Amino acid sequence: DTAVSQTPKYLVTQMGNDKSIKCEQNLGHDTMYWYKQDSKKFLKIMFSYNNKELIINETVPNRFSPKSPDKAHLNLHINSLELGDSAVYFCASSQTGANYGYTFGSGTRLTVV
């Protein structure tokens, strides 16, 4: 009964391909996020979704598109993958207004070759 689960854990793909990473949370949180941890180990926010609305888009290339079919899911689609997209992607969730920590998934290591 993992709180935030994302699949796959590892993804190796060729440049130019299109791929998706799935995320699901069973905490009843109203907001979900995607974070990217690059080679320099920085964790940076990419998107957040609150009640099916995109709240933040931190200058991420439009090859990246979040899709939220419902409040419990936020999937990440990436088109025309580039070498620089290689990173670890973390999904997270939180409840608006609540003062406790955000809950993260275990990460998806994407390697573009």
Partner 1 sequence: DQQVKQNSPSLSVQEGRISILNCDYTNSMFDYFLWYKKYPAEGPTFLISISSIKDKNEDGRFTVFLNKSAKHLSLHIVPSQPGDSAVYFCAARQGGGADGLTFGKGTHLIIQP
In the complex, minimum distance from the CB of residue 51 to partner 1, in angstroms, rounded to a whole number: 9
In the complex, minimum distance from the CB of residue 80 to partner 1, in angstroms, rounded to a whole number: 25
Q: Which stretch binds partner 1 (CB under 8 A): 11-19, 33-41, 59-67, 70-78?
A: 33-41
Residue 35 found at the interface with partner 1 (CB under 8 A): yes
Residue 43 found at the interface with partner 1 (CB under 8 A): yes
Residue 89 near residue 21, CB atoms below 8 Å: yes
Residue 57 near residue 34, CB atoms below 8 Å: no
Q: Which of 12, 15, 27, 55 contacts partner 1 by CB under 8 A?
A: 55
CA-CA distances (angstroms) from residue 81 to 14, 25, 95, 100, 111?
A: 7, 26, 32, 35, 10
Residue 50 found at the interface with partner 1 (CB under 8 A): yes
Closest CA to 21 of 104, 71, 78: 78
Q: Which stretch binds partner 1 (CB under 8 A): 18-26, 28-36, 59-67, 79-87?
A: 28-36
CA dihedral sign, ordered 82, 43, 108, 88: positive
